[in-house]
A = this chain, B = another copy of it.
């Protein structure tokens, strides 16, 4: 049976694009964190929408499950196969064409396997801005961004991936192709099908191409690193910056002391930009536009100083200084990886409750695992914190083991607390296979039933990325 399928896949794609040797498939069956790996019947690499459709139709007939995969940079094991060895990994990596770019309309039509940074570059070459930006942009793909409704540092101004997508092309679970590649800003002619597939993590079909929005470029920046006394001050400062800078506010990120210390330790040449501060919290704020923006940023920060919201601040006086400040923010994830075990959480809180929540959760976690280090950073302008736990620093160096031993209890405490505050346990990473069950446990039965009804309607055989998103 599986031999038949492999034969058909080889006929459809050519032998070289159906990988089965252990060394060939190795990179596709383990996730970026290294914590999740599986086995695959095969890894297939179609080069066109038609070939994707052939693969999906063949698997559909054979009753074999498919795991779509983009740049394999996910953090929730949503793009790697399970351990059965019965699933086909469908990599979109060869679908890298930019089919069209229209600077007047402000649209770019890209295939799913185009790397995010290449979308940004193509837009820039056409005098336009594709604003989405996130740590893995050099290797993640736009198809993966769409399937997970990725966020990043530009959400505050431009929205999630969903809000940047105008149209999609999708191979449905039975192998038919839905051509929804419209580039219209307004189209009220029925259910918003694109929104059903965006963020569905490959459980309803395979996104093969998309029309994404482009924007006028914003070459002028005003950037500052601002040390603030506490998270409440960070939220208050956000309001001041919004009042002074309005639509120009592009980025508002928070970094706590533990996160900054990790970067200062592990990033060569990194220096504390606000050494006069003793507080635990800092924000990276950036305005972006087409004319000088120093004045509104200085006005906002001046008012903030008067209100006691600022301990120390550093303005970027040049593009190089700006890069230095951004490197501190962007280096956290890698720096934390160097230190070994990390328990990652990606939560949203209602922003008005965010400060209270961070104050409330800290002693709870400390009581579960004394000395646990809270490495907290993220997109505070969206209410989104990457709330990662690093091991306690202990003699004998077994802090990592202690962290892993307490992992379940720590994560449950965080999720319970987030749910009680009507927050989200996955702001931008999605559910994958690691959070699907937890998410369901915090949802109402009505909501779980609705999700299941949609899944059953579009993928009645349950062959699209089973175990991801829906437990």
Q: Which residues of A contact B (CB under 8 A)?
A: 102, 104-107, 148-149, 151, 155, 157, 159-160, 162-163, 172, 176-180, 182-193, 195-196, 198-200, 216, 218, 235, 239, 242-244, 246-248, 289-291, 296, 348, 350-352, 379, 382-384, 422-431, 435, 439, 442-444, 446-447, 450-451, 453-458, 469-470
Contacts and interface: CB of A to CB of B under 8 A. Distances in A.
Given A104-B352, A189-B442, 20 more contacts: A149-B192, A155-B185, A180-B447, A182-B422, A184-B383, A184-B423, A185-B348, A187-B424, A189-B426, A189-B431, A189-B435, A190-B443, A191-B450, A191-B455, A192-B196, A192-B199, A218-B247, A243-B290, A454-B458, A456-B457
Contact of A178 (B188, B423, B450): B450
A162 B186 CA distance: 11
A383 B185 contact: yes
This chain: copies in complex: 2
A190 B243 contact: no
Contacts of A435: 189
28 contacts: A102-B350, A104-B235, A104-B239, A104-B352, A157-B247, A160-B186, A162-B192, A163-B163, A178-B446, A178-B450, A180-B447, A182-B422, A183-B422, A184-B383, A184-B423, A188-B199, A188-B424, A189-B435, A190-B451, A191-B196, A191-B455, A192-B198, A192-B199, A216-B242, A218-B247, A244-B290, A454-B457, A456-B457
A184 B424 contact: yes
A105 B381 CA distance: 10
A446 B171 CA distance: 11
Closest 9 CB pairs of A and B: A195-B195, A457-B457, A247-B247, A187-B424, A186-B427, A185-B382, A104-B352, A453-B457, A189-B439
Contacts of A296: 291
Nearest to A291: B296
B447 A193 contact: yes
Nearest to A148: B188
Contacts of A427: 184, 186-188
Given A163-B163, A444-B179, A348 B184 contact: yes
Given A149-B188, A186-B424, A188-B427, A289 B247 contact: yes
A432 to B, nearest CB: 10
Contacts of A179: 444, 446
